[in-house]
Amino acid sequence: MAANKKKISLHERLFRMIVAVGIAITLWFIVNGNADMLITQDYNSIPITLTNVESLTQKNLVLVDNKNYYLNLQVKGTDRNLRNIITKEITAEVDLGDIEEKGSYELDVEVKGLANSVIISSMNPTSLSLEVDNIIKEAMDVDIVLEGIPANELSVISAKSQEKVEVEGPEESIMQIDKITATANVNGLETDTTRHLEVTAYDLSGNPISDLEMLPNVVATEIFLGKTKSVGMTPSTTGVPANGTIVTAVMVEPSKVLVGAKEDVLNAVETISIDPIDVSGQSKTFTKDINLTAPTGFYFLDDSEKVKVTVFIESPVEKSFTIDKVSVKNLGTGLVTSKIKDTRVVIKLEGASSVLNSLNAAQIEAFVDCANLGPGEHELPIQTNLSQSLVKSITPAKTTVIIE
């Protein structure tokens, strides 16, 4: 005979179901912690790693600001899940691998090392603004800066490096370079020497530019000592200006330049020659920059190897002056002139109006030169104290002088 099955009442079934649910919830609490609320945890100053930086170098690119970035992170989860987070495993990355050219980029920050059981509630920053520039190279000269005073009243007459430096870095930084310098301390220096000096790049404001690589970063510099003095220059012209015009003057600015040399040769030079200025076909005044050539053993100081030469070209005017006396010069001792045939002459001048209009007859002297002449009758040319370039004619051109 079959056993009778005990019938479970509806009330008991509901009770058992409630108990089962309660047990399940209790077990979930044991595994996951208190679920009544989610709590938050802050993780600050997490270094942000820039990945694939080497790919920029392969593409001749570089970050304009290569600095350190940090992330502040807030996550939310249960107490148990938050306790399971290992702080040192939390990382933040920004991938540079997709950058192909210079420009501005906004790249997302990716957080790694967090379990799926927690939620990122906030992060700062969420992205990085990065500026990427081209890497370029350029060869540049080095200016030598001197500090101190040499001994024995000597001066530094030359301090130069024959080496150029190759500067490599962001295009924008290289464009900011005003000069590259190296500093030499010459205080108390007594003899010529060679120094090895470290180089630095500066912008127009005199601030050093730090994000550049310079090869070499130390240059050999030859320093020569000597004496200095200021010397004038002798300008000249070549060629013929346009028809109806003449060269009326040549002016050099500055009129003197500072040169240096060894003391035993310094006094051998009083003027610096300037290559003749070609005036062929020129019809008006012009100015030209001229690079000077130093005599052997001489050095230009204070950047004085360049001058401005102004050639004045004008249409000439004519002007005549009557001079009532012809004087005698260089007459030998004990000799006298008993007669000068012509004592009045007319001098016709041609030149710039600015020059001729400033002249008057009292400033003009007519004379004959009796140097090395003995007694007797001599026919001599009449001369003036004016520049030969102004004198077009003298009437009469000659006169007879009787010396006794």
Report yes or no on 346 lying in a domain: yes
Give CB contacts under 8 A, 24+ apart, made by 24-30.
none
Residues 83 and 158 in one domain: no
Final residue of a domain: which of 76, 103, 133?
A: 133
Using H for helix, E for strand and C for coil, what is the string for 216-234? CCEEEEEEEEEEEEEEEEE
Residues 300 and 252 in one domain: yes
Residues 288 and 331 in one domain: no
Give the CATH number for residue 178.
2.170.120.40
**What are the tokens at 19?**
């108990």
Report yes or no on 105 lying in a domain: yes
Report yes or no on 399 lying in a domain: yes
Q: What angle do CA 152, 154, 156 make, to 5 degrees?
A: 145
For residue 208, give its domain range. Answer: 141-227
Q: Which residue do the tokens 């980029």 mark?
A: 105
Report yes or no on 215 lying in a domain: yes
Report the pLDDT averaged over residues 110-137. Answer: 92
Q: Please, are residues 369 and 361 in contact by the beta-carbon 8 Å criterion?
A: no
Final residue of a domain: which of 280, 314, 348?
A: 314
* Cis preceding linkage at 241, omega within 30: no
Report the pLDDT averaged over residues 65-83. Answer: 91
Report yes or no on 283 lying in a domain: yes
**Inter-CA distances, 211 with 137, 154, 165, 171, 252, Å:** 13, 39, 15, 11, 43
Residues 176 and 216 in one domain: yes
Q: Which pLDDT tens digit goes with each residue over 235-259?
A: 889 999 998 888 888 999 998 999 9
Residues 66 and 120 in one domain: yes
Residues 176 and 217 in one domain: yes
Helix (H, G, I), strand (E, B) or coil at 165: strand
**Facing residues of 104 across strands?**
131
> Confidence class of residue 206 from pLDDT cuts 50, 70 and 90?
very high
Q: Which pLDDT tens digit goes with each residue over 314-348?
A: 888 889 999 999 999 999 988 888 889 988 999 99
> Confidence class of residue 80 from pLDDT cuts 50, 70 and 90?
confident
Q: Which pLDDT tens digit goes with each residue over 136-160?
A: 999 999 999 999 999 999 999 999 9
Report the pLDDT averaged over residues 301-326. Answer: 89
Burial of 168 (0-12, 13-18, 19+ CB in 10 A): middle
Report yes or no on 75 lying in a domain: yes
Q: What is the DSSP letter of 263?
A: H
- CA diameter of the chain: 190
CA distance 41 to 79: 10
**What are the tokens at 178?**
């005003």
Q: Which residue do the tokens 């004619």 mark?
A: 393
Q: What is the DSSP letter of 98?
A: T
Final residue of a domain: which of 184, 202, 227?
A: 227
pTM of the model as a whole: 0.57
Report yes or no on 253 lying in a domain: yes
Q: Please, are residues 277 and 237 in contact by the beta-carbon 8 Å criterion?
A: yes
**What are the tokens at 234?**
């002798």
What pLDDT, on the 0 to 100 scale, is given for residue 30? 54
Indicate the number of domains in the chain: 4
- Residue 352's CB: how many other CB atoms inside 10 A? 20
Of the candidates 34, 26, 31, the one whose C-alpha atom is nearest the C-alpha of residue 79 is: 34
Burial of 397 (0-12, 13-18, 19+ CB in 10 A): exposed
Give the CATH number for residue 82.
2.170.120.30
Within the chain, how many helices (H) and strands (E) appear?
6, 32
Q: What is the DSSP letter of 5?
A: P
Residues 72 and 109 in one domain: yes
Share of the chain above pLDDT 90, in %: 63
Residues 310 and 324 in one domain: no
Please indicate whether residue 110 or residue 15 has the higher confidence score (pLDDT).
110
Report yes or no on 18 lying in a domain: no
